[in-house]
């Protein structure tokens, strides 16, 4: 049995790609896309498809140069909203650019990983929500790096007493990212999935469409409380972000 | 009466060619097997160092690798490295993680010694001295021959494992604690056994001895 186990381990480890980026981030097939930036973010792109995670449940395809060159200015513009000090505080240093990102066979725009200080972004993600998605995923890094500031129970208490979030973000059918005409405390259908997604949706609008959000909170008291909560929490980390 | 048959000129040439071919085949077989054949050896007695206390000599299969340490850059890490060297903890430590022409890594004292190699746990061993705080220098560039302390995915988890870069690796800047630089023996490190397509090596090469230069 022990020999079988050893053979299994040997088989597994000999198929890992041997390069310096893999050694650091544990993501294979990456290369440097842009290394020197004002806020010290290092952009990497996937030169081949890769699979990572438990049972290889995360997959993403190679990024084609033309797609990459088209999307990169948008990505960099949005990442540049954050200074290097703030990015350090939220454990973000590497942005991995690839196409058609899936987690457990569900298409997703981004996957944040604060431990490896990496954000994987799908450059093919729906253009309509693309910029907002970047900030949405960054919020998850903010929250994970500063759990103590984002009291989910307190945030949930702003909702109507009869409202319940779903058990998890992927186990509900509340996935639409379009802005509601009538908000009633929630900006999008996806906001209703779980607390952290609700927070992330608010933050993403704060970063991409402040004016619209200002108008909305004038008519929506629940949303106003939520916006104040997020603003106050973010200011505890950095005053210059919002 | 049988006439003596004389070899023609072309037959003689062919015969000489065959003899030469057999000779080259055998000699190449023995020469190629010796991976250390063309490695330049260094005479340690002929070298003078200004700060010999911060020069260490790692002896591996193909010869001596000389490393200059940077105590001013990473005092605690260099101190740990020297302590482990002085206590001969690196003797027998295997280069279990090797990326061809990229980096070599050794120093798992608990599970990565040639005498007691544990493939299921290698890379997770402890020195028993505790972990160290990362001593990152944002400006330090990991060029060919840079020596750094390895860590887990988190900072402040350095212990005994170290790596040596065999080429410039810009992405390591600001990621790892630099502790020194190879000043002789990069070609020797290039001969360390790699793991085919993988980063982990089966039946790896190992450190014969690791000493501080002054006491060498």
For chain A, which residues make up each domain, given as ranges?
15-126, 146-242
**pLDDT number for residue B25:** 81
Instruction: Enumerate residues 6+ apart whose C-beta is below 8 A from B103.
Output: A20, A23, B97, B163, B164, B165, B166, B169
* Cα–Cα distance, A44 to A42 (Å, whole number): 7
* Cα–Cα distance, B139 to A4 (Å, whole number): 46
**pLDDT number for residue B3:** 64
- In order along its 242 residues, chain A shows pLDDT tens digits of 455 444 444 434 434 445 899 999 999 999 999 999 999 999 999 999 999 998 899 999 999 999 999 999 999 999 999 999 999 999 999 999 999 999 988 899 999 999 999 999 999 999 999 999 999 999 999 999 999 999 999 999 999 999 988 877 766 676 788 888 888 899 999 999 999 999 999 999 999 999 999 999 999 999 999 999 999 999 999 988 88
Position B21 pLDDT exceeds 80: yes
Q: Mean pLDDT, to the nearest integer, of B154-168? A: 96
Assess A19–B contact: CB distance below 8 Å, yes or no.
Answer: yes
Helix (H, G, I), strand (E, B) or coil at B95: coil
pLDDT digits (tens, 9 = 90+) for B107-121: 999 999 999 999 899
Say whether B199 and A20 touch across the interface (CB within 8 A).
Answer: no
Give the residue carrying structure tokens 């505080």.
Answer: A89
**pLDDT number for residue A78:** 97
Say whether B170 and A35 touch across the interface (CB within 8 A).
Answer: yes
What residues in A contact B194, CB-CB < 8 Å?
Answer: 18
CB-closest option in A9, A15, A24 to B120: A9
Q: What are the extents of the domains in chain B?
A: 44-215
**pLDDT number for residue A10:** 43
Give the residue carrying structure tokens 């480890």.
Answer: A13
Architecture of domain B44-215: Beta Barrel (2.40)
Task: Count CB atoms within 10 A of the CB of residue B83.
Answer: 13
pTM, full prediction: 0.84
């Amino acid at each position: 049995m022990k020999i079988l186990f050893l053979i299994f381990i040997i088989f597994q480890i000999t198929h890992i790609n041997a390069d310096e980026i893999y050694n650091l981030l544990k993501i294979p097939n990456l290369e440097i896309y842009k290394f020197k930036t004002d806020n010290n973010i290092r952009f990497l792109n996937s030169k081949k498809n890769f699979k990572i995670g438990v049972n290889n449940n995360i997959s993403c395809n190679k990024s084609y140069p033309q797609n990459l060159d088209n999307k990169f200015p948008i990505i960099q513009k949005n990442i540049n909203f954050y200074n290097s000090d703030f990015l350090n505080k939220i454990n973000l240093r590497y942005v991995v650019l690839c196409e058609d990102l899936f987690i457990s066979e569900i298409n997703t725009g981004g996957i944040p990983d604060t431990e490896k200080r990496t954000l994987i972004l799908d450059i093919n993600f729906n253009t309509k929500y693309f910029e907002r998605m970047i900030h949405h995923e960054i919020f998850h890094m903010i929250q994970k790096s500063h759990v103590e500031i984002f009291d989910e129970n307190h945030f949930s208490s702003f909702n109507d007493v009869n409202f319940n979030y779903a058990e998890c973000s992927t186990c509900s059918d509340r996935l639409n990212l379009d802005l509601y005409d009538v908000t009633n405390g929630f900006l999008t259908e996806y906001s209703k999935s779980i607390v952290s997604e609700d927070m992330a949706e608010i933050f993403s609008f704060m970063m991409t469409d402040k004016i619209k959000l200002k108008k909305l909170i004038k008519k929506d008291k629940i949303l106003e409380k939520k916006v104040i909560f997020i603003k106050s929490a973010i200011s505890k980390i950095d005053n210059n972000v919002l | 009466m049988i006439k003596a048959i004389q070899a023609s000129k072309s037959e003689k040439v062919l015969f000489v060619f065959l003899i030469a071919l057999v000779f080259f085949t055998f000699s190449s077989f023995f020469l190629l097997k010796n991976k250390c054949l063309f490695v330049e050896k260094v005479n340690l007695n002929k070298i003078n160092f200004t700060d010999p206390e911060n020069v260490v000599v790692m002896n591996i299969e193909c010869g001596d690798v000389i490393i200059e340490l940077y105590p001013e850059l990473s005092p605690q890490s260099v101190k740990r490295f020297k302590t482990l060297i002085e206590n001969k903890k690196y003797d027998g430590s295997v280069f279990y993680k090797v990326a061809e022409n990229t980096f070599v890594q050794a120093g798992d004292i608990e599970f990565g010694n040639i005498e007691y190699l544990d493939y299921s746990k290698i890379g997770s061993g402890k020195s028993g001295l505790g972990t160290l705080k990362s001593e990152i220098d944002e400006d330090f560039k990991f060029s060919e021959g840079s020596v750094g302390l390895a860590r887990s995915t988190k900072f402040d988890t350095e212990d005994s494992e170290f790596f040596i870069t065999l080429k410039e690796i810009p992405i390591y800047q600001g990621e790892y604690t630099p502790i020194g630089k190879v000043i002789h023996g990069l070609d020797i490190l290039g001969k360390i056994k790699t793991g085919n397509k993988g980063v982990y090596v089966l039946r790896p090469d190992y450190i014969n001895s690791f000493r501080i230069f002054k006491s060498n």
